[in-house]
Amino acid sequence: MDAAEFRRRGKEMVDLIADYLENIEQRPVYPDVEPGYLRSLIPEEAPEEPETYEDVVKDIERVIMPGVTHWHSPYFYAYFPTANSFPAMLADMLSGAIGCIGFSWAASPACTELETVMMDWLGKMLKLPEDFIAGTHGQGGGVIQGTASEATLVALLAARSRAVRMILASDPQRPETDITSKLVAYSSDQAHCSVERAGMIAGVRMKKIPTEQSDKYAVQGETLRRMIQEDKAAGLIPFYFCATLGTTPSCAFDHITELGPICNAEKIWMHIDAAYAGSSFICPEFRPLLNGIEVRNQPQIHTHTHTHTLQLPVKLSVNILVFTPIIICHWQIPLGRRFRSLKMWFVFRMYGLKGLQDYIRKHVELAKEFESLVRADQRFEISADVVLGLVCFRLKGSNEVNETLLKRINNGRKIHLVPCQLSGQFVLRFAVCARTTESRHIREAWRLITQLAEEVMQELPN
Amino acid sequence: MDAAEFRRRGKEMVDLIADYLENIEQRPVYPDVEPGYLRSLIPEEAPEEPETYEDVVKDIERVIMPGVTHWHSPYFYAYFPTANSFPAMLADMLSGAIGCIGFSWAASPACTELETVMMDWLGKMLKLPEDFIAGTHGQGGGVIQGTASEATLVALLAARSRAVRMILASDPQRPETDITSKLVAYSSDQAHCSVERAGMIAGVRMKKIPTEQSDKYAVQGETLRRMIQEDKAAGLIPFYFCATLGTTPSCAFDHITELGPICNAEKIWMHIDAAYAGSSFICPEFRPLLNGIEVRNQPQIHTHTHTHTLQLPVKLSVNILVFTPIIICHWQIPLGRRFRSLKMWFVFRMYGLKGLQDYIRKHVELAKEFESLVRADQRFEISADVVLGLVCFRLKGSNEVNETLLKRINNGRKIHLVPCQLSGQFVLRFAVCARTTESRHIREAWRLITQLAEEVMQELPN
């Protein structure tokens, strides 16, 4: 394919994409295929000779679309949003064409530099303290991580390295492996599984801090303090705590103002995982959820210039972005990186801060609308505070009846939800996800849910 | 921006991209900017109100392009290729529009399934042994890793886990941290820095195996065997060896046929890093470089189903792909993943196996042409065997004179090269990278190099 054909095919692809997104709600949001469905639809080997583009494009509908879960359908309420937008797609096209690998400044200066400034823009939108910003003289600054799981891991590795150095400074003869074997990290029992996984990768002990429904699933300072003291008494070295702002099961919030000072006093690295909720902090009304970020013990950062110094991962709803103040070059697991900041640049400018705030507020309003519908129905209950775009709810009744309801919902393929466990209860998660979700989709979803709930309840033995 | 505007802007972007790539050789391949150049060109904060798309697009030439190292210019001979093609860009547009996160089968079945089949296609193109293929009943299979550095790390983590389990099986009371502290991994002193880095991340000892110019920088079985014996005698536990097929400095090849049996006998996990050279193994004439892959000790794989079972990473020149037989779900560092296999699907079909072979052969031929030009000039010498698309060469003379030459070359910004160190010598690396590089570009590059060499040599004190 030469440039001339690319001009033609690229424009056809733009139309194909626009058609797909304009008509996405006509498609079943969740696919009706069995594992292994795709293999029989295509050859067992790559072709020897080139095929025509027409043949390839025809197969998108025949092979791919039947197996796609449509994350950008307004009827998609599962997991959390993976935001997408037209400006982001345009920027990504450009990023693909430039196709540089930004592993160093010289490898493509614009790639490193735009990212640094875009992370500053984001930091300012989030009203982060000044020392999180790179600026022209700053020691702060951030990088985009590919995923939230990588941000957690990189922070953990940085904390591990810092802890080893701190101990070696006062006890230079102690073997590093002896130190590592005594390290202990903490996270909430509500934390994402990638936190536990980070501990496994880094080869350190990771303890889960129990939380209670009565505390709104937030880690209690008293519990953290007690666990730290017990572990220290047992000869362990507490070194890392992963707080969560917006947990995956129920969007619960740890209180940084309470937990930060404990970590500072104990010289524990506090990492804040705000992979879902972080983007909302660009709205003044949600920014208080991030209060406590200023308790960061600044001198600790600046004396550990040979470690990673990640602090705050934030996934913005317009794309996966993770904010982290950084001092040196080893800020990520992979060495190579795409020119991802172009997406931020396009999106920030085409939406403007106000547009992004409106985007987030609309999702929160839609969640509140869904919450009202649930609350108005005596058969249902709300299982956790609705703070942002996630509503946790269930039928008053057994786990079994709720499992059956969810199965019916997903089998219908009109809307898609996933469950969570809260205090032993099987709970349905309704997350407002798509850019195009409107009030009518919410009401339609609720109509479907109540209709299926009625069916399920009628089938119950009296 | 709505779908209607995206149709218009998307088509403009397609033309912008085609224009960029058609005229890329008119641009200086390496940018003339100082660190920090970009910050002053754009505002310090994101705009409050949306900007127009025209304003954003205008800034591509004003802000971005002056700072871009043009990896797809036919005058780019630095690092290694990061391949790109029009079919790959079209597929990536589609991947962006579908915008699913494939962390599980249900999260988008087509994403997982196409990847499995595409990795089989690749495995068959590479003539891998049957047990590397997933097929319908197979225990093999591969996944795409984001980067080669991640593949190395994931393999190392899998090997660590396997080693710990093997030892615990015979000595269940031994503390895991004691085992980990005794583990030792090996790689060539020619291995990429990401291998050493993987050791740091995984918290295990990593030893470099010295290589010699007289052995063409290949790890010698005798050296590996001796180091293993010495380490075992010292109470350490050898568990991982990273072989390289196509090293970064000089595209040297370790001999798997010799090293594999040593690793098998010692129950050491052998990981093969073929990030650059791997794609060439789809050509029958280069496939012998991969001989020895069949020595894999099959039972070891199948009895360690709870570990990662990565074996062979291959970066294909049409895109970053890494091949790895996989048994379970935790095959990568990040949890989320894009629909990357669409790119393989489009590229394999639009090129066909023959087209891809031609692509690789052309690059090798161009490198051979450059090698002939160097060899015909008495002032220069070739520093390592030219096997694929990389030519290592230098002026006969001091390191200083070669450093000066390289500086002149890169300051000219007409062509771009990076150096390497081979046996203490400063060597220039000439890597054929771009899809559009032709014989005339090679000759033009050589003309420039000899012209600058003449200048540099004339300035030398007599």
Q: What is the pLDDT of residues A237-250, one digit of tens each?
A: 999 999 999 999 99
Beta-carbon separation of B201 and A197 below 8 A: no
The total number of residues shown for chain B amounts to 462
Question: Mean pLDDT across the stretch B51-63?
Answer: 97
pLDDT at residue B137, rounded to an integer: 72
Q: Determine the residue among A333, A335, A343 to mutate to test chain B binding: the one whose Cβ has the most chain B Cβ atoms within 10 Å.
A: A333
Chain A closest CA to B133's CA: distance in Å?
A: 11
Contacts for B458 with CB less than 8 Å, ≥ 6 apart: none
Among the partner-chain residues B60, B63, B117, the one whose CB lies closest to the CB of A94 is B60
> In chain A, what residues touch B111 (CB-CB under 8 Å)?
67-68
Q: How many whole angstroms separate alpha carbon A76 and alpha carbon A414?
A: 9
Contacts of residue A342, Cβ cutoff 8 Å, sequence gap at least 6: A91, A92, A94, A95, A114, B64
> What domains are defined for chain A?
100-337 (3.40.640.10), 360-458 (3.90.1150.10)
Residue B298, pLDDT score:
45
User: Could you tell me the two tokens for B270?
Assistant: 């052998």
Q: What percent of chain A has pLDDT over 90?
A: 74
pLDDT at res. A397? 95
pLDDT of residue A251: 97
Question: How many residues comprise chain A?
Answer: 462
Return d(Cα A223, Cα A154) in angstroms, integer.
Answer: 26
Q: Which of B236, B239, B234 is nearest to B161 (CA)?
A: B239
CA distance B162 to chain A (A): 13
Average pLDDT value over all residues in chain B: 89
Contacts of B125 in chain A (CB under 8 A): 45-46
Cβ count near B255 (within 10 Å): 18
∠ at Cα B195 (B193, B196), nearest 5°? 70
Q: Which residue of A has its CA nearest to B56?
A: A346
Task: Determine what percent of chain B is predicted with pLDDT higher than 90.
Answer: 74
- Least reliable range by pLDDT among A222-231, B168-177, B385-394: B168-177
Highest mean pLDDT among A153-167, B17-31, B186-200: B17-31
pLDDT in tens, B85-119: 999 999 999 999 999 888 888 899 999 999 999 99
> What's the confidence (pLDDT) of residue B136?
75
Instruction: Among B201, B351, B410, pick the best mutation site for testing chain A contact (most A Cβ within 10 A).
Output: B201
| pLDDT attached to residue B302 | 31
Q: Which residues lie below 8 Å from residue A226, measured CB to CB, with a gap of 6+?
A: none
Query: How distant is the Cα of B11 from the closest Cα of chain A, in angstroms?
Result: 5
Of A31, A98, A117, the CB nearest to B109: A31
Considering only residues B84 and A420, tell me which one the structure prediction assigns the higher pLDDT: A420
Which range among A73-82, B246-255, B268-277 shows the weakest confidence by mean pLDDT?
Answer: B268-277
Residues B450-458 have a mean pLDDT of: 96
Mean pLDDT value of segment A336-365:
94
Answer for the pair B302, B162: CB distance below 8 angstroms, yes or no. no
Is the pLDDT at A326 greater than 70? The verdict is no
Q: Which of A66-75, A77-86, A330-339: highest mean pLDDT?
A: A66-75
Q: Over A240-259, what HEC string results?
A: EEEEEECCCCCCCECCHHHH
CA distance A376 to chain B (A): 31
From the list A39, A55, A333, which residue is nearest B136 (CB)?
A39
Query: What whole-number distance in Å separates Cα of residue A311 and Cα of residue A304?
Result: 13
A66 to chain B: which residues are within 8 Å by CB? 110
The answer to whether the CB of B276 falls within 8 A of the CB of B246 is yes
Strand arrangement of the beta sheet that strand B183-188 belongs to = B205-209, B183-188, B237-244, B269-273
The pLDDT assigned to A311 comes to 30
**Distance from A285 to chain B by nearest Cα, in Å?**
17
Q: Which residues of A touch B97 (CB under 8 A)?
A: 17, 20-21, 84, 89
Mean pLDDT computed over B41-59: 97
- Strands across the sheet containing A183-188: A205-209, A183-188, A237-244, A269-273
What integer pLDDT is reported at residue B310 of this predicted model?
28
Q: Which residues are bridge partners to A391 per DSSP? A: A430
Complex ipTM = 0.92
Chain centroid to Cα A443, Å, comes to 26
Task: Count residue pairs from A and B with Cβ separation < 8 A.
Answer: 373
Q: Look at the block and give the residue holding tokens 């000892």.
A: B205
Residue contact B94–A16, C-beta within 8 A: yes
Whose CA is closest to A413, among A26, A20, A21, A23?
A: A26
Distance CA B38, CA B34 (A): 9
pLDDT band (50, 70, 90) for residue A139: low
pLDDT the model gives residue B348: 95
- d(CA B280, CA B133) in angstroms, rounded, equals 19
Going by C-beta distance under 8 Å and a sequence separation of 6 or more, which residues neighbour residue A335?
Answer: A103, B147, B149, B193, B194, B197
What is the rounded distance in angstroms from the CA atom of residue A221 to the CA atom of residue B442? 66
